Structure 1
């Protein structure tokens, strides 16, 4: 049996890198997208094409997907994992950071969807998995813009699912809580970063990247007629 191509954005670390390892272990050819290609190459995975793509560049995402499809066959799944978390007090935060979150967390996801959805719909199968956050379901003051971007991922995913479902294409949202990734290191405000990392430390980091990757693989492994629309998961000790 030939396994389909899986496209993973943000594959250089965290959830994306963990997904790459798990899908590779299953035998899938991979297209890994991230700006840090040295990290992609260091994964050392077979049947893998790595490209230095910023997900905010729609044309670059499409070009990379077409190149991988020419080598490995049509994309059967995409995991939109690229994201940034630049949390901070919205009264004081530089709006440049708002723009970056909107560009990566919203436009980046939509660019990934755009690159694969028409082909999937034409073939009558495919799986789109968008990584969001509990912050897309709950609001936190210092996370105002980040919450807004993740709520947008939930809303866009649900709307795309409604349109894609008649064509046999599944759309899933994965919304993790605190997790042991480098995401919190992106926070530029020292006080906000310290508070967030203290909460992570109280949970010994929270979820592992592998915990989230296993949930993603579980969704993908379901029969094509089964769409797990959303999974919200967190460390058992997380109370919010």
Structure 2
């Protein structure tokens, strides 16, 4: 039975930390019921101060896990009107020495995971002629940098997939927004096994005072989403003022 709520359901992947956690609280505080997905469901369950929520253990590489989570949430809160593809990893290392497993994980989570998220909701949004998909990419999708070869490629793929999907579905009244942050105050690089690359990246973080506050990004996405459906903010590239590129 659908719970009565004045606002539609918002689905967020990678909601256990960083931007995803901030998104969970930002939208919940604004009165939206939220579907929170992550591999670490116990962390999502610890958000006891968010009342209107469904939590689900989801690996974005597995589309059926996303679909089952959506089915569960929609049975209580109605259709997903906003889907935020936030889950991602950024293991650093030179192309030559980075383990193949890290390369494949980056592509599977950062690219295939986004495709799985989009494919889980887009057809229904097209049928309803209403909905918004926000894909969290990165400045790395525009500019390459040392020790980021695979991550650069993954985020560039997200950029182009989002752009073309948006063009194809504009006639269907479905919005796509691409968010491309620079360095953010998160633990995104924690999966790195190359300690030299991680040290160099840590120095870059220090040079920009830790990077962007993820709460700012979450609040910006809320404002973008709450614009009328006929208004589409297609792309936002943002960094700390001190970040050069």
The answer to whether residue 231 in structure 2 is matched with residue 232 in structure 1 is no
Task: Name the CA distance, whole Å, in 2 between partners of 1:150 and 1:52.
Answer: 24
Unaligned runs of 5+ in 2: none
Q: CA deviation at 1:188?
A: 1.4
Partners of 1:184 and 1:197 within 8 A in 2: no
Pick from 53, 64, 73: which aligns with 1:68?
Answer: 73
Unpaired segments ≥5 residues, structure 1 = none
Per-residue deviation, residues 132-159 of structure 1 (Å, max 9, x unmatched):
0000010113101100000000000011
Correspondent of 1:108 among 97, 100, 113: 113
Listed one character per residue, the Cα deviations across residues 51-96 of structure 1 (whole Å, up to 9, x for unaligned) are 0010000111111111111110000001100000012100111111
Give RMSD over aligned pairs.
0.9
Q: Does 1:11 align with 2:54?
A: no
Contact 1:130 1:174 in 2 (8 A): yes
Once the two structures are superposed, what CA deviation does each residue of 1:85-140 show, in whole Å capped at 9, x if it has no partner?
01210011111111000000000011010111111111111000000000001011
Bigger shift: residues 209-218 or 103-112: 209-218
Counterparts of 1:198-217 in structure 2, within 5 Å, are 198-217=203-222
What corresponds to 1:142 in structure 2?
Answer: 147
Quote the Cα distance in structure 1 between the aligned partners of 2:26 and 2:17. 13
Cα distance in 2 for residues equivalent to 1:211 and 1:176: 11
Q: Which among 99, 102, 108 is matched to residue 94 of structure 1?
A: 99
TM-score of the aligned structures, taking structure 1 as reference length: 0.98
Q: How do residues 20-39 of structure 1 correspond to structure 2 at under 5 angstroms?
A: 20-39=24-43
Q: Aligned partners of 2:47 and 2:22: how far apart in 1?
A: 10
1:79-228 aligned within 5 A: 79-228=84-233
Count of matched residue pairs: 240
What's the TM-score once normalised by structure 2's chain length? 0.96
